[in-house]
Chains A and B, each alone.
Chain A
């Protein structure tokens, strides 16, 4: 088409790459808090495999599906049979304590992903030679892991709550229990993120991290369950509750029941007394805070 006009002077061709040399950057530099936020977003997306390979999406997405599916079924059944109320033993906070193994597997699989890559490939010095401090790094990673667990635990409860409105159930009751559920989700997020990240910060090998987290979360659960049962059978019902201090999931479940006066699952585990309730609540918060502090200490010397 340019042949038709045939200009006297050759026009500069558009398809030539000109070496314009080095250009300096004089745009904005957004500093530490922006870098921390970017790392947070990236790590949060990374916990679900977003922005990473298809292979790394499979497990977190499958777990998300597994934890949501029963909620969808409950909603479907409730809507279909026109239930006026979800069965309390399987709704909101109690739903999470039933599904707690999914949370444990998610943490075991994804907490090492958040930390071990940077340790194994020695990428940390590149972060810390930038404005970001080691504390910012820990904040971003801890925040991202806790948020990822919160998404995982919050989503099925959101589904139930929306379902409750579709089935025209009691709005106030469902909103209230949805809120209790979110508190439980927040407890799970802080506690599990703390435990998972502290363990994975110790080893650059992902496999070790996965195994260690699974061991701590599920075996502690089993041991607590056995001790509880033994004491219960031998008539130490009030003291039996103390066995739960070593099990993260029972800790959250019983503390939430106590905090909001929910009748726990019939004769199931519950806090040993009001004092026990306070101790359990304090334990959750102390473990979360202590693991953050340990992580900050761990990353200071790099």
Chain B
């Protein structure tokens, strides 16, 4: 059964179109929603929670119509907003108990579920201290806990890794994986970083300017977007030689697809393990120094520029 279905979903504000005929079908699992700031992610979440009406089109969450069954949806769905939403002067336990009761759990069940949920997201003794003293990582865990405390069937996580350091980011992504793998709760997680969602999600939906850019399983995505960034030095014996251009030619001759990204970095599509060897050989043959060779952490803007570049070449 689909968790989220939207059909021609459109949301127009007086000045902007936030969502433009968006049609997606989200299956159970961890689904990433990727888009730059202002791409329409938050608007989509608001509509899915039944809090804002769509201008056109329909959407169903867990089989319920967002336009008429908002209340029933909000009983079964958890939501973690992007921004700060925690009062600093109460403890995590007090706050999550309160939110559990707001979800309709009786007082005793609310306390029990709060203790369970806070343990699952990794908050232990500190849960009795006021939230004001928590680190960003701990606050994000409290926000996740309040979204899970009523045992929803689906959670909507808006930029859960925002503001976290790399370790905190990995912890949060691991936790999100567990929400589905161990708790059996479907997840829709938004981010503007495609790279981190590739590792976490089963399926990724990319939207831009409210339009669906791409919706595919993570495996497909990785194939298309795995890139190797290569940067080389000038040739010492012949400083006038354009080594980038020479390397591009050499790589093309070796059967690789590569292009300059505007700076000194060349982006090479990874076809398999042998790509690394081919690049190394081409650089060695040219006799230049290799400054870097690294797998790219894709930023969403690259996917866009790639698509636009592809479209342009298609038109030419």
**Chain A residue at minimum C-beta to C-beta distance from B79:** A129
Could you say which of A81-89, A120-128, A151-159, A173-181 contacts chain B?
A120-128
Inter-chain CA distance A153–B116, complex, in Å, is 43
B81: Cβ under 8 A from any A Cβ: yes
> Which residues from B are CB-within-8-Å of A28?
104, 106, 109
CB pair A30–B85 under 8 Å, yes or no, is no
**Chain B residue at minimum C-beta to C-beta distance from A24:** B151
* Bitwise interface map of A from 27 to 39 toward B, beta carbon under 8 Å scored 1, else 0: 1111110110011
B74: Cβ under 8 A from any A Cβ: yes
CB pair A31–B75 under 8 Å, yes or no, is yes
> Which residues from B are CB-within-8-Å of A32?
71, 104
**Chain B residue at minimum C-beta to C-beta distance from A20:** B116
Chain B nearest CB: distance from A285 CB in Å?
31
**Chain B residue at minimum C-beta to C-beta distance from A41:** B101
Inter-chain CA distance A235–B296, complex, in Å, is 88
CB pair A125–B150 under 8 Å, yes or no, is no
**Chain B residue at minimum C-beta to C-beta distance from A126:** B85
A265: Cβ under 8 A from any B Cβ: no
Within 8 A of A (CB), among B92-131: 98-99, 101-106, 109, 113, 116, 120
Also in contact, A35 and B51, with CB within 8 A (given A27-B109, A123-B86, A126-B81): no
CB pair A29–B104 under 8 Å, yes or no, is yes
29 contacts between A and B (CB under 8 A): A22-B120, A24-B151, A24-B184, A28-B104, A30-B105, A30-B106, A31-B75, A31-B104, A34-B104, A34-B106, A35-B101, A35-B103, A38-B102, A42-B98, A121-B85, A121-B86, A122-B81, A123-B86, A123-B87, A126-B79, A126-B81, A126-B85, A126-B146, A128-B51, A129-B81, A130-B104, A130-B150, A131-B71, A131-B104
Also in contact, A35 and B89, with CB within 8 A (given A129-B49, A129-B74, A131-B75): no
Inter-chain CA distance A208–B184, complex, in Å, is 47
**Chain B residue at minimum C-beta to C-beta distance from A125:** B81
Chain B nearest CB: distance from A200 CB in Å?
16
**Chain A residue at minimum C-beta to C-beta distance from B110:** A38
B242: Cβ under 8 A from any A Cβ: no
Inter-chain CA distance A130–B109, complex, in Å, is 17
B214: Cβ under 8 A from any A Cβ: no
A10: Cβ under 8 A from any B Cβ: no
> Which residues from B are CB-within-8-Å of A127?
102
**Chain B residue at minimum C-beta to C-beta distance from A117:** B87
Chain B nearest CB: distance from A186 CB in Å?
28
Kindly list 5 other residue pairs between chains A and B, CB separation below 8 angstroms, not including A22-B182, A129-B77: A23-B116, A27-B109, A29-B103, A31-B104, A126-B99
Inter-chain CA distance A133–B104, complex, in Å, is 13
> Which residues from B are CB-within-8-Å of A29?
75, 103-105, 150
Looking at chain A, what size class is its interface with the partner chain? 20 to 34
Q: Which residues of B contact A (CB under 8 A)?
A: 49, 51, 71, 74-75, 77-79, 81, 83-89, 98-99, 101-106, 109, 113, 116, 120, 146, 150-151, 182-184
Neighbour of B113 across the interface among A25, A117, A128, A132, CB < 8 A? A25
A172: Cβ under 8 A from any B Cβ: no
**Chain B residue at minimum C-beta to C-beta distance from A17:** B119
Chain A nearest CB: distance from B84 CB in Å?
6
**Chain A residue at minimum C-beta to C-beta distance from B158:** A125
> Which residues from B are CB-within-8-Å of A5?
none
**Chain A residue at minimum C-beta to C-beta distance from B98:** A42
**Chain A residue at minimum C-beta to C-beta distance from B153:** A24
> Which residues from B are CB-within-8-Å of A129?
49, 51, 74, 77-79, 81
Neighbour of B84 across the interface among A24, A35, A121, CB < 8 A? A121
CB pair A132–B182 under 8 Å, yes or no, is no
> Which residues from A are CB-within-8-Å of B102?
35, 38-39, 126-127, 130, 132
Chain B nearest CB: distance from A202 CB in Å?
20
Inter-chain CA distance A121–B74, complex, in Å, is 21
Inter-chain CA distance A254–B64, complex, in Å, is 54
Inter-chain CA distance A38–B78, complex, in Å, is 19
Inter-chain CA distance A21–B103, complex, in Å, is 22
**Chain B residue at minimum C-beta to C-beta distance from A21:** B182
Inter-chain CA distance A25–B105, complex, in Å, is 10
A2: Cβ under 8 A from any B Cβ: no
* Bitwise interface map of A from 6 to 25 toward B, beta carbon under 8 Å scored 1, else 0: 00000000000000011111
Chain B nearest CB: distance from A286 CB in Å?
31
CB pair A122–B84 under 8 Å, yes or no, is yes
Inter-chain CA distance A165–B211, complex, in Å, is 75
Chain A nearest CB: distance from B145 CB in Å?
12
> Which residues from B are CB-within-8-Å of A25?
105, 109, 113, 150-151
Chain A nearest CB: distance from B74 CB in Å?
5
Inter-chain CA distance A117–B182, complex, in Å, is 35
CB pair B101–A125 under 8 Å, yes or no, is no
The 7 residue pairs across chains A and B that have the minimum distance between CB atoms: A129-B79, A25-B151, A22-B183, A29-B104, A30-B104, A38-B101, A121-B87
CB pair A123–B85 under 8 Å, yes or no, is yes
CB pair B98–A130 under 8 Å, yes or no, is no
* Bitwise interface map of A from 126 to 163 toward B, beta carbon under 8 Å scored 1, else 0: 11111111000000000000000000000000000000
Inter-chain CA distance A23–B120, complex, in Å, is 10
Chain A nearest CB: distance from B304 CB in Å?
29
Inter-chain CA distance A130–B103, complex, in Å, is 6
**Chain A residue at minimum C-beta to C-beta distance from B81:** A125
Inter-chain CA distance A133–B70, complex, in Å, is 10
Chain A nearest CB: distance from B92 CB in Å?
14
**Chain A residue at minimum C-beta to C-beta distance from B51:** A128
